[in-house]
């Protein structure tokens, strides 16, 4: 069984990385007119970079809190964060049988990609105390980075604000490009997603069609690209790609 202190130690590298990335998110919230306290609340209750970025896009583009906007937010978050449900199901196989139901809900709250990766490399059953220790510092790092980015951006010159605003985009590129270079299916899916996103943005105005909002554009691009990728590059039962 792993204790709370070991969880804290294992979570330190994740917290440092989260602070740097969420700083860029904090800058984006400032540029989009989101109050710092709301940006901090968003990070504290979500702890998801891609989901928060997409949510910020939808909120910034919306003119009000209409039912369509709420539905757009729900669908966007569902599609982008669906992987967390799969990771949580896998993590349950590593958890100690003594962990209660409410404790599993607590663990699921901050079961991010990096936390999941570290937890799955451990040997033996994972205790509730270890998982809380592992997740505590990353949550604080993500929230603190957002707060510092949102507050500091107001004190910086405009040119530096614009430069920092692209930091989060750079993070996504840094995540996708190495994998796409190694995997042809990933490269094709990424290219299709970019193509569909451009079509959603630029095609409707050419034909006088009402513009598609950023949230639904993300939904359509993600679902279509993933569906085509799954059809063209299916996985065999052994886990390899079928030829």
User: Do 55 and 20 sit in the same domain of this protein?
Assistant: yes
Higher pLDDT, 207 or 201: 201
User: Do 98 and 14 sit in the same domain of this protein?
Assistant: yes
User: Do 69 and 18 sit in the same domain of this protein?
Assistant: yes
User: Do 121 and 148 sit in the same domain of this protein?
Assistant: yes
The answer on pLDDT for 49 being more than 90 is: no
User: Do 199 and 95 sit in the same domain of this protein?
Assistant: no
Cβ distance 201 to 61 under 8 Å?
Answer: no
Residue that finishes a domain, picked among 135, 164, 193: 164
C-alpha dihedral, 61 to 168 to 53 to 174, nearest 10°: 120
| Predicted pLDDT of residue 167 | 65
The answer on pLDDT for 107 being more than 90 is: yes
Task: Give me the mean pLDDT over the 184-205 stretch.
Answer: 87
Residue 228: pLDDT band with limits 50, 70, 90: very high
| Predicted pLDDT of residue 136 | 95
Q: What is the mean pLDDT of the chain?
A: 84
Task: Give me the mean pLDDT over the 61-80 stretch.
Answer: 79
User: Do 14 and 131 sit in the same domain of this protein?
Assistant: yes
| Predicted pLDDT of residue 241 | 54
User: Do 141 and 215 sit in the same domain of this protein?
Assistant: no
For residue 126, give the 3-state DSSP assignment: strand
Residue 237: pLDDT band with limits 50, 70, 90: low
| Predicted pLDDT of residue 79 | 84
Domain assignment present for residue 242? The answer is no
Residue that finishes a domain, picked among 133, 164, 195: 164
Tell me how many degrees the CA angle 171-176-177 measures, rounded to the nearest 5: 100
Domain assignment present for residue 228? The answer is yes
The answer on pLDDT for 142 being more than 60 is: yes
Domain assignment present for residue 174? The answer is no
User: Do 8 and 121 sit in the same domain of this protein?
Assistant: yes
Domain assignment present for residue 178? The answer is no
User: Do 72 and 101 sit in the same domain of this protein?
Assistant: yes
The answer on pLDDT for 12 being more than 90 is: yes
The answer on pLDDT for 63 being more than 80 is: no
Place of tokens 């899916």: 189
Domain assignment present for residue 83? The answer is yes
Q: Could you give the CA distance from residue 204 to residue 11 in angstroms, rounded to a whole number?
A: 46
User: Do 191 and 159 sit in the same domain of this protein?
Assistant: no
Task: Give me the mean pLDDT over the 156-172 stretch.
Answer: 68
Domain assignment present for residue 241? The answer is no
| Predicted pLDDT of residue 153 | 81
Domain assignment present for residue 188? The answer is yes
Instruction: Collect all residues with Cβ–Cβ distance below 8 Å to 93 and sequence separation of at least 6.
Output: none
Residue that finishes a domain, picked among 164, 192, 213: 164
User: Do 81 and 142 sit in the same domain of this protein?
Assistant: yes
The answer on pLDDT for 161 being more than 80 is: no
| Predicted pLDDT of residue 195 | 92
The answer on pLDDT for 196 being more than 50 is: yes
Domain assignment present for residue 205? The answer is yes
| Predicted pLDDT of residue 2 | 57
Which stretch of 23-32, 60-69, 76-85, 130-139 has the lowest confidence by average pLDDT? Answer: 60-69
pLDDT tens-digit readout, 88-104: 988 998 999 999 999 99
Share of the chain above pLDDT 70, in %: 86
| Predicted pLDDT of residue 243 | 44
Helices (H), the chain: 4-31, 36-46, 49-61, 67-80, 82-91, 101-109, 113-120, 128-153, 158-165, 167-182, 184-206, 214-232
Query: Which neighbouring-strand residues pair with 126?
Result: 95
The answer on pLDDT for 206 being more than 50 is: yes
For the chain, the domain total comes to 2
Q: Which domain holds residue 188?
A: 183-232
User: Do 87 and 201 sit in the same domain of this protein?
Assistant: no
């Amino acid at each position: 069984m792993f204790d709370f202190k070991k969880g804290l130690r294992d979570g330190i590298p994740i917290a440092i990385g989260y602070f740097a990335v969420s700083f860029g998110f904090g800058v984006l919230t400032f540029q989009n007119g989101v109050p710092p306290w709301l940006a901090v609340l968003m990070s504290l209750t979500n702890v998801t970079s891609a989901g928060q970025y997409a949510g910020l896009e939808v909120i910034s583009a919306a003119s009000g809190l209409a039912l369509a906007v709420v539905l757009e937010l729900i669908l966007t978050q569902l599609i982008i964060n669906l992987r967390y449900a799969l990771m949580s199901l896998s993590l349950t196989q590593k958890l100690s049988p003594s962990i209660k139901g409410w404790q599993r809900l607590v663990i699921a709250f901050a079961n991010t990609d990096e936390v999941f990766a570290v937890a799955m490399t451990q040997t033996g059953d994972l205790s509730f105390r270890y998982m809380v220790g592992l997740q505590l510092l990353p949550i604080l790092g993500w929230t603190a980075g957002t707060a510092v980015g949102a507050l500091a951006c107001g004190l910086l010159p405009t040119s530096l604000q614009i430069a920092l605003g692209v930091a989060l985009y750079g993070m996504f590129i840094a995540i996708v490009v190495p994998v796409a270079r190694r995997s042809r299916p990933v490269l094709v899916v990424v290219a299709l997603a970019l193509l569909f996103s451009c079509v959603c943005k630029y095609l409707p105005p050419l034909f006088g069609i009402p513009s598609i909002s950023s949230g639904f554009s993300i939904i359509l691009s993600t679902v279509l690209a993933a569906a085509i990728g799954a059809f063209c590059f299916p996985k065999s039962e052994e886990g390899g790609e079928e030829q």
